[in-house]
Amino acid sequence: MIVAGCDVGSLTAEAVILKDSQVLTSKIMGVRATAEKSAVCVMDLALAQAGLKYSDIDACYSTGYGRQAIPFSQKNISEISCHGMGAYWADNSIRTIVDIGGQDCKVISIDENGLVQEFIMNDKCAAGTGRCLEVLAKALDVELHELGPLSQKARKPINLTNKCSIFMELEVMQHVYKKRKARDIAAGINNAVAKRVASLSKSVPLKPNFAITGGVSKNVGVVSRMEKLLDVKFTPLTVDPQIIGALGAAIFAQKENGNHD
């Protein structure tokens, strides 16, 4: 049985194709003008890589910010359920998932079947999201993917006191004016984002084991700071943490369309 999941987020879109409960292929790309275009584009890429056609897919579910606009999906499921299920499938010892995406961050608590028990989410304010990191990386004039490695070399991280991303940007500029080292500023940026997410997670029971997903989980600075602040260790996942949402959607498609294995 071949199933697919498609996750159209605010900044990136992901597609995952599963064949007999194995990940056949996965693709990530930046979003296009509309959610529909992004979905078609990323799915075309994934299908091409797998050497499949749309007609080969038995079921496809969608998730994410643009999940309602996807023409080839039979059902859409909230990204919270999908992140829970995706992380659980990748490692069934996981009970708490921290997901830091482009425009939101959430902490999800799941049960021993991978179903959501409780969650908390911030999607009102950009602080503590990937978008905030993007704005601050730009202010510092470094690439987004460099923030993590750069921050690891910091000796005296700066302290960002503001909560608003735009005020943080101003604060970063002030440190740039004062000629502070880029690595120390980068560490300050990562710490600030981690702090925002950590303060969110106080409202959800934190049960081991822990996983971190979403694009920001690729930033080693944020991840290590989160571990320190929450006093936990994140279990490394066997699949790319950025495709967890799409993976979860595919798992739901498989579960609800026969072939329980």
Footprint of another protein (CB under 8 A): 10, 33-34, 103, 124-126, 131-132, 135, 141, 163-167, 170, 173-174, 176-177
12-19 sheet: strands from edge to edge: 22-30, 12-19, 2-8, 59-63, 75-76
Residues 126 and 103: beta-carbon distance below 8 Å: yes
| Residue 261 to residues 15, 20, 22, 50, 236, Cα–Cα distance (Å) | 21, 8, 11, 22, 24
State the nearest-atom distance from the C-beta of 12 to another protein, in Å: 13
Taking alpha carbons only, the member of 19, 23, 25, 26 closest to residue 57 is 19
3-state secondary structure of 219: coil
Question: To the nearest whole angstrom, how small is the minimum distance from the Cβ of residue 65 to another protein?
Answer: 10
The residue (of 19 and 37) whose beta carbon lies closer to another protein is 37
- Considering the complex, state which of residue 53 and residue 124 has its C-beta at the smaller distance from another protein: 124
Nearer to another protein, 48 or 166 (CB): 166
Tell me the C-alpha distance between 148 and 84, whole Å: 25
Strands (E), 101-177: 105-110, 116-122
Q: How far is the CB of 91 from another protein (least distance, A)?
A: 32
CA atoms of 245 and 5, how far apart (whole Å): 8
- Residue 55 or 177: the one with the smaller Cβ distance to another protein is 177
Kindly state the smallest distance separating residue 159's Cβ from another protein, in Å. Answer: 17
CB 2 → another protein: shortest distance, Å? 31
Q: How far is the CB of 132 from another protein (least distance, A)?
A: 7
In the complex, least distance from residue 84 CB atom to another protein, rounded to whole angstroms: 24
Q: What's the distance, Cα to Cα, between the start and end of the chain in Å?
A: 11
Q: Which is nearer to another protein, 63 or 129 (CB)?
A: 129
Distance between CA atoms of residues 82 and 88, nearest Å:
10
C-alpha–C-alpha distance, residues 108 and 183, integer Å: 31
* Nearest residue to 200 via CA among 66, 64, 100: 100
Pick the closer one to another protein by CB: 124 or 155: 124
- Cβ closest to another protein, residue 82 vs residue 127: 127
